[in-house]
Structure 1
């Protein structure tokens, strides 16, 4: 039996494109073979939808799923959010963990995205933090949903590799209590990233705070941080975007901690 966009199971899964339904069910959609592969490895796939071609091309993934539901092209199009879907969409259990659980692991590198609203940026920071060896990414305050479809795709599977935490905005005391120095990024920060690297400051366990591109970090977080750090600009650019700044800062810490 091949399901269509009007099949109740497809219609129910499609509702997970809305944050309200993701929050109510504790489930989300992972689209494309890369995301599905990582979700299967993490053991969180509840149901795998795929076109005949998609299931045939990625038979090794279909073999790992407990429930496989063939769908028509229009059925997959209803579930996918991209213009050219790649034949697979999985319904997954959400993977975030409580803040205390993530900090109990004594992490050495943590990224905090505070009230950022752009899902593409959030997913890219997730991917970058994973690549730099961070063990947790904390979505603080009124931040974008980490299970937003664009965020999941931009993370390129890294959503399943790090501890994803949703926490209140006043997260700094918990980070300090876990033995982390808290460095807030700011274009007007008193401390220069290169100087901190030269002085050995970045070798300590660190949580980096990143704010939205439009508004930066809330003043309460800037004030609570141990240091306010600026990334030096050597050319004529006014600033770096969020994802680029996160990459520079996280890799500076990763290198110092090696």
Structure 2
């Protein structure tokens, strides 16, 4: 679904600009402070911030964004079309599938990790909108670095599905194919029966005795890092 999204904070706007988001307004409270941030944290975007920054009052900023922000920077952007490659065979990097995630911050952090490690996209099942403002904050604007979308069902899912569960095979002994779908269950309830039914293999991430679980983002990060490391070694 297309629409507009509010980007809150300098770093969210920075990543959106770097990855080609369609941005309509860049709102700043203090132009000098914003350009100083750009000079120190995103010198590649200094000219763009200089040209596009629109200085507004605190009241105007809050009216558009809904609240203030410590960096005094925000933007209005087009929501990217949901183009996650669920039906694309021969992907060159894994697709991350989140099975009914509930924590918006965790969902955003998974998108951030997936973007950093070069995943082909992030898709979710369930009611949570992966473009919710809290998810955008969690991803630091990296929704624009890779396809992000929501699935109605598992029809058309292409590539071997590797589901992660504590009772699975040790990840350290596995090779993750480039076109794999890496499926992670919800933070509280784990994998659904529907995802288990389509899984070609169930893997587990090694964990010390008496430690009950990993955070969802940590699990996705370790799985993607394992894929990237094995690929580089091959």
Structure 1 length normalisation: TM-score? 0.76
Does residue 174 of structure 1 match 2:157?
Answer: yes
Of 165, 186, 189, the residue aligned with 2:165 is 186
The structural deviation recorded for 1:205 is 2.8
Of 15, 18, 25, the residue aligned with 1:38 is 15
Given that residues 77 and 85 in structure 1 are in contact (C-alpha distance below 8 angstroms), is that contact kept between their aligned partners in structure 2? no
Matched with 2:129 is 145
Note closer, same or farther for the CA distance 1:105–1:206 as it changes in structure 2 (3 Å cut).
closer
Q: 4+ residue runs of structure 1 moved beyond 6 angstroms? A: none
Matched with 2:73 is 88
Note closer, same or farther for the CA distance 1:207–1:188 as it changes in structure 2 (3 Å cut).
same
The structural deviation recorded for 1:141 is 3.3
Alignment length (residue pairs): 222
Of 13, 20, 27, the residue aligned with 1:49 is 27
> 1:184-225: CA deviations, max 9, x gaps?
111222x221222xxxx3245311011210111211101111
Choose between structure 1 and 2: higher helix proportion. 1
Instruction: Give the RMSD, CA atoms, in angstroms.
Output: 2.5
Tell me which of the two structures has the higher relative contact order, counting C-alpha pairs closer than 8 angstroms and 6 or more residues apart: 2
Structure 2 length normalisation: TM-score? 0.82
Q: Which runs of 5 or more structure 2 residues have no equivalent in the other structure?
A: 39-45
Q: Which runs of 5 or more structure 1 residues have no equivalent in the other structure?
A: 1-22
